[in-house]
Amino acid sequence: MSDYQSIMLLLFFIFPVMYMIDTALVIIRRNAKHIENRLAFLTICLLASMIFFQYLEQLLSAEYALNISAYMVYPASIAAVSMSVLLHLTATNSYHRLSRWSTIGIAFIPFIMYFLLLAIRGREYLLEGVRVEGFWKQIEVAPAMTVIYGFLVMYSLLNVAICLIAHYKANNSVDRKRFMVLFKANLFYQLATIGVLIVYTAFSPYVYISDSVIFLTTIIWSISLRVYMKNDFLPSTSKKYELLYHFSPTAIIMIDKNMIMKEVNPGALRILGFEKEEELENRSLSEFIVMNERKDMEEAFAASFPKDAWRNRELTIVNRKGQKRAILADTEMMAEGKDWFLLMVIRDITQQQEESRLIHFLAHHDTLTKLPNRYHFNRELEASLKAVKSSKALLGVMLIDLDRFKLINDTLGHQFGDQALIDVAQRLRQNVDHRHLLARLGGDEFIILIKEAEEYDEIVSLAENIHLAFQLPITLQGQDFYLGGSIGISVHPFDDDSSDGLIKRADIAMYNAKHSGGNQYRLYTNEMIALVQRDVKLEKHLRKALKRKEFVLHYQPQINLASGQLIGAEALIRWQSVELGMVHPGEFITLAEQTGLINEIGQWVIAEACQQGKLWQEQGWNDFMLSVNVSSRQFMQPDFVNKVQEILRSSGLEPDRLCLEITESMVVNNLNVARKMLDELVALGIHIAIDDFGTGYSSLSVLRQLPIAIIKIDRSFITDMDAYQGGLSIVKTIVSMGHDLQKQVVAEGVETLDQYEQLKQLGCDKAQGYYYHKPLPLLEFNKLLIAR
Ligand code: C2E
Ligand code: MG
Ligand code: MG
C-alpha cells in the first residue's frame, strides 16, 4: 500500500470514528445516569469500534480480513443494531407491555443468531471469502449472512414502527414530540440507506466499496442520533426543566410589559380555568384579577417592570369558571431578543388560606355557638382596657350563667343541651351591638364585654335587656323551658383595673345573683366577697354535716282556718353546725343544690320526717299531714320515686299523711318528665303541693294538667294583702281559682290577726305562719301537740 493510499484510508476511517466518539461523549455528558443516554452511548461506541475494525481490516494483509470481519466487524455492527433496538424499546417503555428481559431478548436475537451460526457452522457458513480490488478488501458473504442482513434491515424498520406507535400512544405532548423526533431520525436513516444502495448499484463496479454500505449508513445513523439530540430527544438538564414546566402544579406564565400572556404552562391553564394554550394566547393577565385589586396590581406592575422582581405577592383572581382563587405570585425578568419578558410563577393558596382562616376561626371561636371563645375574649378585653385607660370611658364585663341548664342536659340529653346553648347564644346576640363583644366562656357561661360606655346606665340597661331575654322560654321538643340567667357585672375603673380582676369580680357578682335565687343581675360590690367567702366555708362544712348528724328538723304547725284546728306541719331543715352555729336553709339549700349534696340531705329529710310522722300516727294523731320540701335537683333524680316509696315502706307511714312540696319552676321547666313523676308519686298515695305559688311563671292552666292537691300562696302575697288594695284581690283570685280547680289552698307566712281573718273570709283552707307558731324544734312541737 502506498503512503498516499495509507493516508487516504486513515482519513477515510478515522474522521468518522472521531466524529462518533465525540457524539458518544456529548450524549453521555448530557446525563450519564440516564438509561437512554447510556444505551445511546453504547450504540455509538459499538458503531465507532465497528468502523475502527474495518480500518484494521483494510490496513492489515488479506489473510486476516476474514477473521477480523467475522469476529470484530460483524459482531460490533450487529450488537450496535441490537443496542439501538433496545434503546428504542426502553425509551418507549411506558407505551408497551414488554418486560425488561423480554426487550433485551428481542433486541439481541440477531446477535445471538450470528454467534450460534458462527459456533455451530463455522466462519465459512457466513463468509465465503475475500476479494481484493486494488487496495480494497471486499468480503464475500454467504447466503446465511444475507439472511442476517435481512434481519438487521427488519430491525431498523422495527425501530421506525416502535417510535411511530409510541408517538400515537403517548399521553402527553412532551413524549409525543420526542417520539416524532426519533421517528424522523429513523426515517432519515432509512432513506439515506436506500440512497447509498442506489448510488452503490448505479456506480458499480466503479465504486467498489460494497462492504461499506454498512459503513456509510452507520455514519448516517450516527449523524441522525446527533440530530435528535439537538432536538432534545435524549434526556438532558434542559429536558428536565421542560418536564418541570409541563408537569409542575405551579402555574408559570410569561407575560410582556403590557401583561399580555405569551406562554402558559398546563398549571397556569388549570388555575385560569382553560384547557388549551391557544385560548389564552394574547389575553391580558389583569383580566383575571378581581376588580378591587386590578388597578393596584396594574400600577405596581408598571412601576416594577422591568427592574424589580415580585416576591410572594398576594392576588385574587377569578378564573373562567367563575371560581375565586387566592394566588401568590413571584416574578423574574428575562430578556428574549430585544424585548423584556416577565416569568411569573403562581401558586394557588386558596386552600391554604381557607385552612388558615379556619384555624384562626377555631382558635378564636366556640364551635357550637360560633361565638368568640375565652381566648378571643381575653385578648379583646386586654386591648379594650388599654384603649379605655387613656379615655374617661367606662368598661364593663358582664358574666352570664344559665340557672337551669343542667336540668335540660340531664333530662333531655346533650343534643338538646347543645340546642339550648345555641338558642341562648342567638338571643344574647340580638341584644348586643358593635360596642359589645359577646363570647362563650364554656359550659353554660357567657360573657359580654362592654368596650366603652359613657355612663353607668348604659351597662345597667344592657343587663336589664338581657335579663328580660331570659324571661322568655326556650322551646325544645315542643316544650317550653325557662332557663333563667344569673348575671354579674363588674365595671372598670370602679371595681378593678386588670382584666383578670374584672372577670373575677363579675363572677362574684354573678355568684351573688345565683345565690339570691338566680334569674337576676347584680352589680359587683365589695361586700359580695364576704358572701363568697362564707359560701366557701359553708361548703367545706356542709360536706361533713350529714355524717356528723348536724341536721335537725323543725316543724311549723299548719292550722285549718275554718276550725282553728292543728291539722299538720311543715318539716323545715336546720343545720346546727359546730363551727358556724345555727344555719338556716335559705343559706345552704342553694349551695347544697349546686354541689349536689342536696340529694343526700333531701333523702335524710324525707326519711326523718316520715319516721316522726309514723310516731305521731301511732300516737293517734289522725288526719295529720306532714309536708316536706323537695328541691328541684332532688326531684329530678331518675330514682326519686323509688326512693320515696322505699322510705314510706321502711317507716310504715301511711302515704296519704305525706305531702311533698315542690315549686312551680321545677315542673314548668320540664313539664312532661315532671308530670310522669308526679303521677307516679300520686299513685303511691302521696299528696303534692305547689310551694311559693305565684312567684314562678306557671299559669293555672298548666297546674290543671298536673295531679296537684294543694296550692301554697307565697308569703309575699299574704304580706301584701294589707299593704295595698290590689293585694287582697290577688289572694282572692288565687283562692277562688284554686278552688275552681278543686285544689286546697294554704296561706303561708300569716303574721297578723288581720291576715288571718281576711283569709278565713276568703275561704282559704289552711294557714301557717308566725301568727300561730314559728317552726318549732321537735320537743316543743310535741309539747304543743300534747297541749292541744
Ligand atoms: P318554704 O318551704 O316556703 O318554707 C317557709 C319558710 O317561711 C320557712 O323558712 C319558714 O320559717 C318561713 N315562715 C313561716 N311562717 C313565716 C312567717 O309568718 N313570716 C316569715 N317571715 N317567715 C315565715 P325557712 O325554714 O328558713 O325555710 C326557707 C326555705 O328553705 C323553705 O321555704 C324551703 O323552700 C327551704 N327548705 C326548708 N327546709 C327544707 C328542706 O328540708 N328541704 C328543701 N329542699 N328545702 C327546704
Ligand atoms: Mg315549703
Ligand atoms: Mg313557701
| All structural domains of the chain | 3-235 (1.20.1070.10), 248-350 (3.30.450.20), 361-524 (3.30.70.270), 543-787 (3.20.20.450)
Does the Cβ of 769 fall within 6 Å of ligand 1? Answer: yes
Ligand 1 mutation pick, 629, 665, 766, max ligand atoms within 8 A of CB: 629
Task: Please enumerate, as own/partner, the contacts of 611-617 that have beta carbons within 8 Å and a separation of 24 or more.
Answer: 611/651, 611/653, 612/553, 612/555, 612/571, 612/778, 613/651, 613/653, 613/657, 613/658, 614/651, 614/652, 614/653, 616/785, 617/653, 617/654, 617/657
Task: Output DSSP code: residue 365.
Answer: B
Residue-level pLDDT at 782: 94
Specify the range with the lowest mean pLDDT, choosing from 493-497, 643-647, 662-666.
Answer: 662-666
3-state SS assignment for residue 74? helix
Sign of the Cα torsion 454, 457, 461, 464 reads positive
pLDDT per residue over 336-345, tens digit each? 667 788 889 9
- Is 602 touching ligand 1 by the criterion CB < 6 Å? yes
User: Mean pLDDT over residues 322-342, rounded?
Assistant: 84
Residue 317: CB within 6 Å of ligand 1? no
* Three-class DSSP category at 110: helix
Q: What is the mean pLDDT of residues 665-670?
A: 76
Burial class (CB in 10 A: 0-12, 13-18, 19+), 369: buried
Does any ligand 1 atom lie closer than 6 A to the CB of residue 75? Answer: no
Task: Return d(Cα 340, Cα 338) in angstroms, integer.
Answer: 7
Residue holding cell 424585548? Answer: 339
Residue nearest to atom 38 of ligand 1 (CA): 572
* Pairing state between β 445-453 and 251-255: unpaired
Residue 652 has pLDDT above 90, yes or no: yes
Residue with cell 382584666: 499
Of 239-253, 313-327, 459-473, 489-503, least confident by mean pLDDT is: 239-253
| C-beta of 556 in contact with ligand 1 (< 6 A) | yes
User: pLDDT digit string (tens) for 120-140?
Assistant: 998 888 888 888 877 777 788
| Percent of the chain topping pLDDT 90 | 49
Q: Is the peptide bond before 707 cis (omega within 30 degrees of 0)?
A: no
**With the CA atoms of 626, 632, 638 and 639 taken in that order, what torsion angle do they form, in degrees rounded to the nearest 10?**
-20
Nearest CA owner, ligand 1 atom 43: 629
What integer pLDDT is reported at residue 1 of this predicted model? 63
> Is residue 725 predicted with pLDDT exceeding 80?
no
145 has pLDDT over 80: yes
Rounded Cα gap, residues 417 and 396, in angstroms: 28
571: β partners: 555, 628
Greater confidence (176 vs 735) lies with: 735
- What does the pLDDT read at residue 208? 47
Cα–Cα separations (whole angstroms), residue 640 to 390, 599, 602, 631? 58, 9, 10, 11
Largest CA distance in the chain: 163
Each residue of 410-461: pLDDT tens digit? Answer: 777 889 999 999 999 999 999 999 999 999 998 999 999 999 999 999 999 9
What residues have CB less than 8 Å from 247, skipping those under 6 apart?
A: 266
Residue from 554, 556, 572 to probe ligand 1 pocket by mutation (most atoms less than 8 Å from CB):
572
Q: What is the mean pLDDT of the chain?
A: 88
Q: Which residue CA neighbors atom 17 of ligand 1 most closely?
A: 749
Question: Which atom of ligand 1 lies at the shortest distance from residue 692's CA?
Answer: 3
CA distance 78 to 50: 9
Instruction: Output the pTM of the full model.
Output: 0.56
- Which H or E run includes 601? helix 598-618
Separation between Cα atoms, residue 332 and residue 750, nearest integer Å = 94
pLDDT, position 309: 80
Distances (CA, A) of 544 to 413, 535, 539, 578: 32, 14, 9, 11
CA neighbours closer than 13 Å in the CB half-sphere of residue 437: 23
Nearest-ligand number for the alpha carbon of 585 = 1
Instruction: Give the range with max mean pLDDT: 40-44, 191-195, 240-244.
Output: 40-44
**Is 273 within 8 Å of 350 (Cβ atoms)?**
no
What are the tens digits of pLDDT across the range 674-722? 889 999 999 999 999 999 887 765 566 677 888 999 999 999 999 988 8
d(C-alpha 83, C-alpha 73), whole Å: 15
Residue with CA at minimum distance from ligand 1 atom 22 = 749
Q: Is the separation of the CB atoms in 522 and 509 below 8 Å? A: yes
